[in-house]
Amino acid sequence: MPFVPHTPEDLKAMLDVIGVTTLEDLFADIPESMRPKSFDLPEGMSEMEVCSHLEQLAAKSRTDLVSFLGAGFYNHHIPKAIDGLISRGEFYTAYTPYQPESSQGTLQAIFEFQTAVCRLLDMDASNASVYDGGSAIFEAMMMAVRATKRSRIVVSEAVSPIYRTMLASYTSNLNLEFITVPHDNGTTDIEKLKAAIDDRCAAVVVQNPNFFGNVSDFTELFEHAHAHKALGIISVYPVMQSVLKTPGEMGADIAVAEGQSLGQPLSFGGPYLGMMACTEKLIRQMPGRIVGRTEDLEGREGYVLTLQAREQHIRRAKATSNICSNQALCALRALIHMCLLGPEGLIRTAELSMERAHYLADRLTAIPGVELLNDAPFGNEVAVRLPISAFEAVDKLVERGYVAGVPLGRYYEDMDDVLLMACTEKNTFEQVGILAEMLGGIL
Amino acid sequence: MKTVFAQSVPGRTACLPPMPEERAEAFIPANLLRGKRPALPEMSELDVVRHFSRLSRLNYGVDSNFYPLGSCTMKYNPKFTENVAALPGFANLHPLLPQIKSAGLYTQGALEVMYESERLLCEVTGMHAFTLHPMAGAHGELTGAMLIAAYHKDKGNKKTKVICPDSAHGTNPASAALAGFEVVNIESKDGLIDPAALDAVLDDEVAALMMTCPNTLGLFEKHLPEIVEKLRKVDALLYYDGANLNAIMGKMRVGDVGFDVVHLNLHKTFATPHGGGGPGSGPVGVSERLEPYLPISRVDKLRDGRFFLNYDYPKSIGFMAPFYGNFGVVLKAYAYILRLGGEGLKRVSEYAVLNANYMRKLLEEHMHIPYNRICMHEFVASACDQQAACGVRALDIAKALLDKGYHAPTIYFPLIVKECMMYEPTETESKETMDAFVQDLIEILESAKTDPVALQDAPVTMPVRRLDETKAARSMILIDPA
Amino acid sequence: MKTPENLLYSKSHEWADIDGDTAVIGITDFAQELLGDITFVELPAVGDTVAAGAEMGSIESVKAASELYAPVSGEVIAVNEALEDAPEKVNESAFEDGWLIKVRISGEPKDLLSATEYAELAASEDH
Ligand SMILES: Cc1ncc(COP(=O)(O)O)c(C=O)c1O
């Protein structure tokens, strides 16, 4: 019996101890009327059969496509050492560190993760992760709503539409008011955002680089928010954050990120990693697990889950969030990733990616009829306007093994001809050149 | 152990990418760049590997230790599922690929996994439809609560309250509140939902009851048919917290007995690893009347057998996840279900229940078991006798168990049993393991009588002794100072 | 367990030391005992108004959290700022150094218990 070790003798002996004769006797509490109407599941398979079935399904994917897809989810190199380390059973098969003395490994790793997040984002405190970048924005927003006791949120339309639709769903039964401030041809419209902030506003939410890849400085925006006692929330891209002005430098109150670019496989959408950090003042509003350093009876350094009075197992309906299980193993991946790359490695990754994206932009703008959406600074991702439908253009190149980018028509009005293209260090200059040639050829 | 930051040596590197031709200043104006490079660790690859290998050794995990943590279902996680999730055809798939028409073909394998997983979970639970998007149990609860809200709103019902029994996991009231409901607590009686207490709070404003069955005491809710009836009368829905589904597979299906919403914890019942706290996966199943509100996208099948992502559900509550949930976790659970098949799943429940009852019997003369009758997959004992007799608390016993090489049972919950210790051995543990565990536990209980102080000092063999949690909360050292 | 005679008590375990039109408010020794080591106290600000029986803040220990309810109505005229850095004062001296806020009372205090009544209530809850 797979994964059940009992021999017939064991079974008999155990039933005897319990004082029943059959396994079925143990389920006597479930009346006949409540028994399953059907339980028509396939027969079990051997390990070999399951693996080969799934290998066949996996083989339906094409893994040789050269991809320029991004939109917040990037195909960066993942150091091989990560898999070996996170697969160690003591990490992989442990759970939330409720018993700190037998969980110092997990606890210290979370403490180190919190530290790395704070150093990358330049913030005071972080948590052990939430589900993903989108739910991180939601949690940040709720922190702001509680801290300011206000209910209006100003969001830039240049924040990922993937996340904005999540926010809309999550808050549909809450008495919150969203004001979405339109982007200005792909750039974040700081002046309009400022104009939308007033004394009823809990927070302003922006993204850097924004969804179109543009980079901004939000220092003034956050100052303006603070003048109205509203909070500044910023969502960032961790790899680019190694070079870009930090949330801390801009005066953000809460910084969040999707941590996928730090060592997580794309894995068709998850598991990913919601990173959150905030200023000291807001720590008690933070959702989820937080690890703190302390001492044991003998004065030795050690780590524990702390500030637990915020959490659902103590505060129940009044908790700062309902989150219990988080993305701990993904956080561990991100931490190991940051250790293996170090500051220089992360910076070079950002630079190599930018270099390619800028080369791509140069090549594309040389094609008649192709232009950049705007001339604002960008990092490793850029939006271009094509003379034909972006959907059509992308479709045509797939059979030639290239996925040119994300067509933006389904996210924004008047953008059927706009293509969002991302590069990472894995896209070679040669591939960029080929893509430019091919695109030029079909336009 | 020194942190990675304390081990950092300037200039040391591990996986350094090649030098770019130009640096950041070439692409981004100086005023948009950060002032200082991030102070991340600088280490060699061996430094990193050794550090994390050593850290891992400070942990207990299912692979190395018996881990009877109640409510968490710490069963063995089959290794082959890890290989399955790492197959490049799954692991390297960009989630936006299905949006490109001609590339849709190349995601058929992944879509089939999702489609089939949903069908299998429907059959296991008797529900009408499933979404795989919720990324953990609590996220499933939030999704479920939102589905309930959407249903009532659509029907024009004014429903503002959700009832949670006091034995419910803390996430239930927290999720209901986050979905905008007022939470109404009811007290249990004899370890079960008390129909009279339910009557006292039931009115037309009740949107739903969230319950766990078997409940967190490991007991089957015997009044279930009556409870279903009562809720139907006020047009309220029934939510099932499926964290305990591992007790009833093949024995009862929540859909058949009248539940409208259920969330499952794939990281529990379906053996995906807990990863030190996550990632999990919390799919939500619904009855027919709630199906229109399920999150989008949904995987549908065309007549020619191809799968596609359908966004055309106008009554949907919208997006709960950026894409399709924790796909990598769903994959592992799918592989597990295929491996076991229907008979195997039934066996999971039978042996999980067998093990829990066996352990309960071995322990009943040594610890107070407040509701000592045939339990399901777990049971709750109380250290109240030990506390009264010698001042030894559940916490002390838990710590002493660590010294013997076991993870402790759950002691922070359920709140309705004082000095509670919730044991869940799971079906993957052998008789020998449980015999040895109970033997060691009895030894601890005996020593409580003769030398209680020693127990209050436990653990003594772990990397650290008891830690000062008050100091941690007051001093709030949450990061390594730069 | 101490229950000073000169104070009035709420069922939710706050005390009020009423002197003319002002009252000093805190939590009882019984309550601090029950909570354990206090790690954080959240209080209203000077100038805020509190209403008898309504929530006025919260108090946290390592393993528990509890809402604070105002025993009397009025305007907050002082808060115990020392608790920000030393919440343990509530454990050490619940009726003196560990006071929470001072209010200027509006309206007549109602439904408060005497020391004897409160001691009985506490005894009945202590099981
Ligand atoms: C009964 C019960 N419900 C809900 C949950 C929450 O699940 P998750 O931790 O996956 O969010 C848990 C797990 O801790 C549980 O035991």
**What residues are paired with C17 via a beta bridge?**
C24
Query: Running DSSP on this structure, what letter comes out for residue A103?
Result: B
Residue A402's region, left for phi above 0, alpha for psi from -120 to 50, else beta, is beta
Residue B277 forms part of a structural domain: yes
Residue B280 forms part of a structural domain: yes
- For ligand 1, what atom is nearest to the CA of residue B282? 10
How far apart are the CA of A356 and the nearest CA of chain B, in angstroms?
Answer: 10
Per-residue tens of pLDDT for chain A, all 443 residues = 899 999 999 999 999 999 999 999 999 999 999 999 999 999 999 999 999 999 999 999 998 999 999 999 999 999 999 999 999 999 999 999 999 999 999 999 999 999 999 999 999 999 999 999 999 999 999 999 999 999 999 999 999 999 999 999 999 999 999 999 999 999 999 999 999 999 999 999 999 999 999 999 999 999 999 999 999 999 999 999 999 999 999 999 999 999 999 999 999 999 999 999 999 999 999 999 999 999 999 999 999 999 999 999 988 999 999 999 999 999 999 999 999 999 999 999 999 999 999 999 999 999 999 999 999 999 999 999 999 999 999 999 998 999 999 999 999 999 999 999 999 999 999 999 999 999 999 98
Q: Both B171 and B22 in a single domain?
A: no
Query: Ligand 1, from A324, A325, A326, A327: best to mutate by most atoms within 8 Å of Cβ?
Result: A324
Distance CA B186, CA B194 (A): 8
Which residues from chain C sit within 8 angstroms of residue A307, using beta carbons?
A: 39
Q: How far apart are the first and last CA of chain C?
A: 14
Using CB atoms, which chains have 3+ pairs under 8 A with B? A, C
- For ligand 1, what atom is nearest to the CA of residue B136? 10
> C88, B474: Cβ pair inside 8 Å?
yes
B242 lines ligand 1 (CB under 6 A): no
Domains and CATH numbers, chain A: 8-54 (no CATH), 66-75+343-442 (3.90.1150.10), 81-336 (3.40.640.10)
Distance CA B104, CA C104 (A): 70
Based on the number of CB atoms within 10 Å of its own CB, is A8 exposed (0-12), middle (13-18) or buried (19 or more)? exposed
Which of B287, B320, B339 delimits the end of a domain?
A: B339
Structural domain count, chain B = 2
Mutate to test the interface with A, among B16, B52, B108, B245 (most CBs of A within 10 A): B52
Distance CA A214, CA A374 (A): 9
Q: What is the CATH number of the domain that holds B136?
A: 3.40.640.10
Residue B49 forms part of a structural domain: yes
Distance CA B24, CA A438 (A): 28
Residue B140 forms part of a structural domain: yes
- Which pTM value belongs to this model? 0.97
Q: Both B305 and B183 in a single domain?
A: yes
For residue B94, give its domain range: 82-339
Q: Both B146 and B272 in a single domain?
A: yes
A324 lines ligand 1 (CB under 6 A): yes
- Identity of the residue numbered B407: H
**Closest C-alpha residue for ligand 1 atom 15:** B243
Q: Where are the strands (E) in A190-259, listed by range?
A: 201-208, 231-236, 254-258
B265 lines ligand 1 (CB under 6 A): yes
Q: Which pair of tokens denotes residue A273?
A: 């990693």
Residue B222 forms part of a structural domain: yes
Residue B347 forms part of a structural domain: no
Residue B397 forms part of a structural domain: no
Mutate to test the interface with B, among A48, A174, A283, A322 (most CBs of B within 10 A): A322
Q: How far is CA A308 from CA B252, B473, C58, in A?
A: 36, 9, 14
Q: Both B319 and B191 in a single domain?
A: yes
Residue from A124, A69, A363, A148 nearest A252 by CA: A124
Q: Both B162 and B46 in a single domain?
A: no
The ipTM value here is 0.98
> C62, B469: Cβ pair inside 8 Å?
yes
Which residues from chain B sit within 8 angstroms of residue C42, using beta carbons?
A: none
Q: Both B218 and B142 in a single domain?
A: yes
CB A331 within 8 A of CB A110: yes
Distance CA A255, CA A261 (A): 16
Which of B307, B339, B371 delimits the end of a domain?
A: B339
How far apart are the CA of C59 and the nearest CA of chain A, in angstroms?
Answer: 9
Options 3.40.50.300, 2.40.170.20, 3.40.50.2000, 2.40.50.100; CATH for C8-112 is: 2.40.50.100
Q: Both B146 and B8 in a single domain?
A: no
Which of B339, B359, B393 delimits the end of a domain?
A: B339
Using CB atoms, which chains have 3+ pairs under 8 A with A? B, C
